[in-house]
Amino acid sequence: MKVTVARHAGFCFGVKRALDLVLAAQREATGPIHTLGPLIHNPQVVARLEEEGVRPLASLADASPGSTVVIPSHGGAPELAPRAAELGLRLLDATCPFVAQAHAYTAQLAGEGYQVVILGDQGHPEVMGLLGQAAGKASLVSDEADLDRLPLTGRKVGLVSQTTQTPAKLQAVAARLVGACHELRVFNTICAATSQRQAGALELAAQVDMMIVVGGRNSANTARLRELCSGLVRTEHVETAAELSPDWFAGVARVGVTAGASTPDWIIREVVASLSQLA
């Protein structure tokens, strides 16, 4: 059985930057350091950070005064900074620059009077941050079909996307909106790393008998990779090598491996090593 890893897989710039910021802060902090929710959507990395004393919190109110609290890579709401100051907390912003750019575009559209439409996953932390930037002036859709229930009340509509969505979904929503408003302004806020990983996964999926997608089950971009690959070939999603089942590979001559942008190299290497042993 031949094992091939996609040409773009694993940590993206924004995730690596967030992890580096936290580790540097952990070395320098004189008090407790926490993340506001998981720093990235990978349970194994979050567990390792907890072992180093960096514990995720559900809210700023859970931190003791003098603590450092890190805004995770998927960003947060604009009211976090004043709330942290009020509670006597040091706030460290590890928001991915691509997510921060999406925040800026969302706030710009809302400020210029556009009815803002956000393409994203309901309840995802990044999406909650985008909604916050629009100050209640945005509507969320998960695909173009959701537009049927959306009252487009303004002549001007602005469209932004969660950074981990697919270009095809963004194009489909934009195409549906074109005929429904007088003016449409679209900011393509899908990050380059997401597009690269999706393209690399699809390229590899077309060449193998089976795909293994590696990453956290709470990771939107990992779930998107599984969704895309499963449209071409049998696909299994695992968080770690321990979840691989030998039964999956009966009759499989070529297996491809890809990983979400929040999956560290050491987990990918363990999966590849286990697959090689099975081969």
Is 263:216 a contact under the CB 8 Å cutoff? Answer: yes
Asked whether the predicted pLDDT for residue 279 surpasses 80, the reply is no
Of the chain, the percentage scoring pLDDT greater than 90 comes to 91
**Residues 90 and 107 both lie in one domain:** no
**Residues 22 and 64 both lie in one domain:** yes
* Last residue of one domain, picked from the residues 136, 171, 186: 186
Q: Point out the residues that are catalytic.
A: 126
The pLDDT, as a whole number, for residue 99 is: 96
Mean pLDDT over 261-271 rounds to 97
| Integer Cα distance of 110 and 19 in angstroms | 31
Asked whether the predicted pLDDT for residue 270 surpasses 90, the reply is yes
| Integer Cα distance of 133 and 137 in angstroms | 9
**Residues 158 and 140 both lie in one domain:** yes
152 pLDDT tier (thresholds 50, 70, 90): confident
Question: What is the pLDDT of the chain when averaged over all its residues?
Answer: 94
The pLDDT, as a whole number, for residue 104 is: 97
Helix (H) or strand (E) holding 69: strand 68-71
| Integer Cα distance of 247 and 178 in angstroms | 48
Inter-CA distances, 207 with 210, 228, 233, Å: 9, 14, 9
The number of domains in the chain is 3
Digit-coded pLDDT (tens) for 42-61: 999 999 999 999 999 999 99
| Integer Cα distance of 31 and 33 in angstroms | 7
The pLDDT, as a whole number, for residue 43 is: 97
**Residues 104 and 90 both lie in one domain:** no
* Locus of tokens 């393509």: 188
Q: Rg of the chain's alpha carbons, rounded to an integer?
A: 20
Asked whether the predicted pLDDT for residue 273 surpasses 80, the reply is yes
pTM reported for the whole predicted model: 0.88
The DSSP 8-state label assigned to residue 64 in this structure reads: P
Question: In terms of Cα–Cα distance, which of 166, 178, 273, 147 is closest to 228?
Answer: 166
**Residues 22 and 38 both lie in one domain:** yes
| Integer Cα distance of 142 and 38 in angstroms | 23
The pLDDT, as a whole number, for residue 108 is: 97
Is 197:260 a contact under the CB 8 Å cutoff? Answer: yes
95 pLDDT tier (thresholds 50, 70, 90): very high
Is 95:71 a contact under the CB 8 Å cutoff? Answer: yes
Is 260:212 a contact under the CB 8 Å cutoff? Answer: no
Mean pLDDT over 135-156 rounds to 88
**Residues 44 and 106 both lie in one domain:** no
Asked whether the predicted pLDDT for residue 137 surpasses 90, the reply is no
Q: Please give the full DSSP string across 90-123, using - where no structure is assigned.
A: EEEE---HHHHHHHHHHHHHHHTT-EEEEES-TT
| Integer Cα distance of 167 and 194 in angstroms | 10
Task: State the residue range of the domain holding 240.
Answer: 2-10+192-278
Digit-coded pLDDT (tens) for 242-257: 999 999 999 999 999 9
Supply 95's token pair: 């928001």
**Residues 230 and 274 both lie in one domain:** yes
Of the chain, the percentage scoring pLDDT greater than 70 comes to 99
**Residues 111 and 175 both lie in one domain:** yes
- Name the pairing type of β-strands 33-36 and 68-71: parallel
The pLDDT, as a whole number, for residue 28 is: 86
**Residues 271 and 197 both lie in one domain:** yes
| Integer Cα distance of 76 and 69 in angstroms | 12
- CATH number (domain holding residue 107): 3.40.1010.20
Asked whether the predicted pLDDT for residue 153 surpasses 80, the reply is no
Digit-coded pLDDT (tens) for 190-221: 999 999 999 999 999 999 999 999 999 999 99
Mean pLDDT over 138-157 rounds to 89
The pLDDT, as a whole number, for residue 150 is: 86
* Last residue of one domain, picked from the residues 96, 131, 149: 96
- CATH number (domain holding residue 29): 3.40.50.11270
Mean pLDDT over 148-157 rounds to 84
Mean pLDDT over 134-152 rounds to 90
* Last residue of one domain, picked from the residues 154, 186, 218: 186
The pLDDT, as a whole number, for residue 180 is: 87
**Residues 107 and 83 both lie in one domain:** no
